[in-house]
Amino acid sequence: MTKETAPIKIVVVDDSAFMRKALTMMLESDPGIKVVGSARNGEEGIAKVRQLKPDLVTMDVEMPQMDGLTALRRIMASDPVPVMMVSSVTTDGARATLDALELGAVDFIPKQMSYVSLDIVKIKDELLAKIKNIVSRKHILMARFRTRRSFRDARDGVPVAAGPLTKPAYTPPPKRHKKIDIIALGSSTGGPPALQTLISALPRNLPVGMVIAQHMPPTFTKSLAERLDSLSSVTVREAGDGDPIEAGKVLIAPGGKHLTVKRYGGRARAVVSEEPSDTIYKPCVDVMLNSVAEAFGANIMTVILTGMGSNGLEGSRKVKGGGGIVIAQDEASSVVYGMPRAVAEAKLVDHIAPIDGIAAEIVSYF
């Protein structure tokens, strides 16, 4: 078998024999993927990664002897490889997963969406496509990871997130002149770390509100909002039905529900709902953007970040058609260049920037 046709090699690390078998069956349902090894805990996982040099690792968060975060930290310090965390859909699981994404994991698989889920047929194809996409970019992703400030010695057991990129700061664009009344942002795979970079760089006096649709399961979005709020000058909250859209406030759509915007008596408020019920994603970026376009007309800024697929394309088309501004993350800094690529190739984008430059692009309008 040639290098070009060699299957993607994956190591599965999980303390549950059932989960190891279930994930292996799911992954190997694609002939282009081969599970070359498995491990019951973090220590075994580190050894398997060093021995087998896989293209990608799935890593359980909670394991005996050595947990997934400790193993991830050591793998990324010595043998960097794309890692997808397998996490429980709980508040603690959400926090651990966000820690893992800061430490260098590229994405996560919620356990309720794994092989035991009734929705397996729906989510399996997306997961396999995501794995192929990530592996096709693994050299870019790991090279970018290596440019971050060094971790503390992995042996000390202190969870330290990777620092910012060491390349020169993004050159601020010139002042732009267009009225903007709201910012609407969509993101998916790779989104949480990207949001942390962007939101934490926004000024406290941001003169408009922001709404965000990030593809995540319920419980995860509240933890994400709390983390971003603790790191940012702006206020970040998980959106509640009826919340006002206010300057300096960022509202994140709750996982499993849509976030739209409506005007009531001239004031814009968030609407949180399970309708429409027939969308692939909840929250859905297109649903959010369409509502924002209807409520705000031309005075909109849309930001599309890293993610699989093309969710956000039709909403961006409506925003752009109505006279709004569209900003997209560049390919080099995206974990998966799907959503930004879709809007760029449709020629809907006004500005393309690396993730550490998007805040400057936003601020140039104020």
Q: Last residue of some domain: 97, 121, 156?
A: 156
Q: Last residue of some domain: 156, 174, 199?
A: 156
User: Does 243 lie in the same domain as 111?
Assistant: no
Is residue 129 domain-resident? Answer: yes
Is residue 228 domain-resident? Answer: yes
**Count of CB atoms within 10 A of residue 121's CB?**
8
Helix (H) or strand (E) holding 38: strand 33-39
What is the structure's pLDDT at 95?
Answer: 87
What is the structure's pLDDT at 123?
Answer: 67
Phi, psi for 303 (deg, rounded to 5): -125, 125
User: Does 263 lie in the same domain as 208?
Assistant: yes
Is residue 168 domain-resident? Answer: no
Query: What's the rounded Cα separation, in Å, for the pair 228 and 95?
Result: 12
Q: What's 10's DSSP letter?
A: E
User: Does 282 lie in the same domain as 217?
Assistant: yes
Query: What's the rounded Cα separation, in Å, for the pair 121 and 295?
Result: 36
Bridge partners of 337? 307
What is the structure's pLDDT at 182?
Answer: 97
Query: What's the rounded Cα separation, in Å, for the pair 247 and 210?
Result: 8
User: Does 216 lie in the same domain as 142?
Assistant: no
Token pair, residue 94, equals 């959400």
Query: What's the rounded Cα separation, in Å, for the pair 306 and 190?
Result: 6
Of 272, 293, 292, the residue nearest 283 (C-alpha): 272
User: Does 147 lie in the same domain as 296?
Assistant: no
Token pair, residue 204, equals 């406290």
Reported as half-sphere exposure (CB side, CA atoms, 13 A), residue 108 has a value of 32
Is residue 163 domain-resident? Answer: no
Is residue 28 domain-resident? Answer: yes
Of 225, 294, 215, 305, the residue nearest 260 (C-alpha): 294
Is residue 176 domain-resident? Answer: no
User: Does 152 lie in the same domain as 188?
Assistant: no
User: Does 212 lie in the same domain as 103?
Assistant: no
User: Does 275 lie in the same domain as 128?
Assistant: no
Is residue 245 domain-resident? Answer: yes
Q: Which residues have C-beta within 8 Å of that of residue 66, sequence separation ≥ 6?
A: 41, 42, 43, 45, 46
User: Does 200 lie in the same domain as 235?
Assistant: yes
Q: What total of structural domains would you count in the chain?
A: 2
The alpha helices in the chain, defined as continuous H runs, are: 17-27, 42-52, 68-78, 91-103, 120-136, 138-146, 191-199, 220-231, 285-296, 313-321, 339-345, 358-363
- Strand locations in 97-181 (E): 107-110
CATH number for the domain harbouring residue 201: 3.40.50.180
What is the structure's pLDDT at 143?
Answer: 82
Is residue 172 domain-resident? Answer: no
Q: Last residue of some domain: 140, 156, 172?
A: 156
Q: Quote the domain boundaries for residue 18.
A: 8-156
CATH number for the domain harbouring residue 18: 3.40.50.2300
Helix (H) or strand (E) holding 366: none
Phi, psi for 231 (deg, rounded to 5): -105, -5
Token pair, residue 339, equals 């959503």
Query: What's the rounded Cα separation, in Å, for the pair 359 and 276?
Result: 31
User: Does 309 lie in the same domain as 256?
Assistant: yes
What is the structure's pLDDT at 302?
Answer: 98
What is the structure's pLDDT at 359?
Answer: 95
User: Does 187 lie in the same domain as 149?
Assistant: no
User: Which residues of the chain fall short of a pLDDT of 70?
Assistant: 1-4, 89-91, 112-123, 147-169
User: Does 236 lie in the same domain as 107?
Assistant: no
Query: What's the rounded Cα separation, in Å, for the pair 72 and 75?
Result: 5
- Judge whether 162 and 81 are in contact, CB under 8 Å: no
Name the pTM for this structure: 0.87
Query: What's the rounded Cα separation, in Å, for the pair 322 and 340?
Result: 19
Query: What's the rounded Cα separation, in Å, for the pair 276 and 76?
Result: 41
